[in-house]
């Protein structure tokens, strides 16, 4: 019998409790022993809830209990989750978390503390909710040199962009719905400004390329400026606007970016709608692979946490090896990256050519006589931004995301 504790009985913590109860037999069969929840730590009371019987308000009850071998951290935020996690690992307890903020900020140190004490700090639920992407990078794709990781990694923003595109909803209405469904972060800026996706791509890219990428180095743009007319242009061009979190490595170096991009049908991420997430990983031997699933929500995220608990129970007193060095990986500026850009501007095509040179896919929307949209030629981002600075007629612009495999085919 393995005894565990859950710290934080919110959306994910309650999902972990429910999953362990609902799938008790299957989990025991796969783990080789039963898993018992000995404590739930939360400041609140939960009268009538099954967690009531094991509820504690004292962290030290968990820390000082030698029977507890695995602790789930679903509190979120840095304080007090960071200190609690460090103390638990130092006390020889495994910790499984969904807390991407903590993993991105202190993951390197916490993994080292875990290693020193022959336990594990596992964070499958921190990226892509229920999608088992961390395990894929740590286990299944270990034969590869990873060349690219690109994903839709935030359920809330994908839900909002899908509602705006398919149902014509306003940004604020769609955000409220996502919050009501339990997808959004406590402070919606973390989702809509792209910070949540930024932390996730930093974690996945670090695992993919084997060296630490700080989320602070990843240029990040959110979706607050995306308007309904931009989405109409995207549709007219057979595209979608998606918040992509991406990183690539080639002979020139590695770059990463989080930004709303215009992607076409050649890119399978266009089909990822609503709260769903997906991650494409490209390896030099396997080519492009893709992983899809619920990126947020109680039970999908809990499923990933419970998978980690089971791994910890199966690997008692053993730190599972991962290729993730603390050595920082310096990113090259996104300004060097070459691609076409979508531009929406006022005036006529002559002015667009004068400002941006060769243009294509010129698109006009009914009722919008004084503006139009087009694609530029491929150019480095710094060149595009220099051209952009030379005109005051641009209303909005997007990077046109490309799927190289589709282009090569």
Q: Rule CB under 6 A: is residue 152 a binding residue for ligand HSE?
A: no
Task: By CB under 6 A, name the one of 74, 99, 156, 303 that touches ligand HSE.
Answer: 156
Of residues 330 through 349, those in contact with ligand HSE by CB under 6 A are none
Task: By CB under 6 A, name the one of 191, 221, 230, 381 that touches ligand HSE.
Answer: 191
Q: Rule CB under 6 A: is residue 155 a binding residue for ligand HSE?
A: yes
Q: How far is the CB of 190 from ligand HSE (least distance, A)?
A: 7
Q: How far is the CB of 134 from ligand HSE (least distance, A)?
A: 13
Please say if 200 is a catalytic residue. yes
With b meaning 16 or more CB within 10 Å and e meaning fewer, what string describes 253-285?
ebbbbbbbbbbbebbbbbebbbbbbbbbbbbee
Whichever of 223 and 313 has its CB closer to ligand HSE, that residue is 223
Q: How far is the CB of 109 from ligand HSE (least distance, A)?
A: 22
Whichever of 184 and 281 has its CB closer to ligand HSE, that residue is 184
Whichever of 268 and 274 has its CB closer to ligand HSE, that residue is 274
Kindly indicate which of the ranges 38-46, 180-188, 262-270, 340-348 contains the residues binding ligand HSE, using the contact rule CB under 6 A: 180-188
Task: By CB under 6 A, name the one of 184, 241, 243, 280 that touches ligand HSE.
Answer: 184
Q: How far is the CB of 373 from ligand HSE (least distance, A)?
A: 29
Whichever of 202 and 313 has its CB closer to ligand HSE, that residue is 202
Q: How far is the CB of 399 from ligand HSE (least distance, A)?
A: 21
Q: How far is the CB of 28 from ligand HSE (least distance, A)?
A: 28
Whichever of 191 and 381 has its CB closer to ligand HSE, that residue is 191
Q: Rule CB under 6 A: is residue 73 a binding residue for ligand HSE?
A: no
Q: Rule CB under 6 A: is residue 196 a binding residue for ligand HSE?
A: yes
Of residues 101 through 140, those in contact with ligand HSE by CB under 6 A are 129
Q: Rule CB under 6 A: is residue 183 a binding residue for ligand HSE?
A: yes
Question: How many residues touch ligand HSE (CB under 6 A)?
Answer: 11
Q: Rule CB under 6 A: is residue 188 a binding residue for ligand HSE?
A: no
Q: Rule CB under 6 A: is residue 381 a binding residue for ligand HSE?
A: no
- Which of 86, 100, 169, 200 does the annotation list as catalytic? 200
Judge residue 377's burial from the number of C-beta atoms within 10 Å of its C-beta, 0-12 exposed, 13-18 middle, 19 or more buried: middle
**Could you give the residue numbers annotated as active site?**
200
Residues that bind ligand HSE (CB under 6 A): 129, 154-156, 183-185, 191, 196, 295-296
């Amino acid at each position: 019998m393995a005894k565990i504790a859950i710290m934080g009985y919110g959306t994910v913590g309650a999902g972990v409790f429910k999953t362990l109860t609902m799938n008790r037999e299957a989990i025991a069969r796969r783990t080789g022993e039963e898993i018992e929840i000995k404590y739930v730590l939360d400041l609140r009371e939960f009268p009538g809830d099954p967690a009531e019987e094991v509820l504690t308000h004292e962290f030290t009850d968990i820390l000082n209990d030698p029977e507890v071998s695995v602790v789930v951290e679903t509190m979120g935020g840095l304080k007090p989750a960071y200190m609690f996690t460090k103390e638990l690992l130092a006390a020889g307890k495994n910790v499984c978390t969904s807390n991407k903020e903590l993993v991105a900020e202190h993951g390197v140190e916490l993994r080292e503390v875990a290693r020193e004490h022959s336990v594990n700090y596992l964070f499958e639920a921190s990226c892509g909710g229920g999608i088992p992407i961390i395990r894929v990078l740590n286990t299944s794709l270990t034969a590869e040199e990873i060349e690219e990781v690109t994903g839709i990694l935030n359920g809330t923003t994908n839900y909002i962009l899908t509602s705006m595109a398919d149902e014509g909803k306003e940004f604020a209405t769609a955000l409220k719905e996502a919050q009501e469904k339990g997808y959004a972060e406590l402070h919606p800026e973390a989702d809509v400004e792209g910070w949540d996706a930024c932390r996730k791509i930093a974690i996945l890219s670090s695992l993919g390329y084997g060296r630490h990428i700080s989320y602070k180095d990843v240029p990040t743009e959110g979706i607050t400026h995306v308007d309904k007319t931009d989405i109409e242009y995207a549709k007219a061009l057979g595209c979608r606007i998606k918040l992509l979190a991406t990183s690539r490595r080639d002979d020139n170096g590695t770059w990463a970016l989080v930004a709303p991009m215009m992607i076409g049908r050649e890119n399978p991420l266009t089909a990822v709608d609503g709260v769903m997430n997906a991650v494409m990983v490209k390896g030099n031997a396997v080519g492009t692979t893709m992983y899809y699933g619920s990126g947020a929500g109680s039970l999908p995220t809990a499923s990933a946490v419970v998978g980690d608990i089971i791994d910890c129970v199966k690997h008692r007193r053993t730190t599972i090896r991962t290729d993730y060095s603390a050595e920082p990986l310096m990113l090259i500026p996104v300004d060097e990256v070459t691609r076409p850009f979508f531009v929406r501007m006022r005036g006529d095509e002559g002015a667009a050519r004068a400002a941006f040179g060769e243009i294509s896919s010129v698109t006009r929307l009914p009722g919008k006589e004084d503006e139009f949209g087009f694609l530029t030629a491929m150019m480095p981002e710094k060149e595009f931004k220099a051209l952009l600075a030379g005109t005051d007629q641009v209303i909005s612009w997007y990077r046109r995301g490309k799927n190289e495999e589709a282009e090569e085919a």
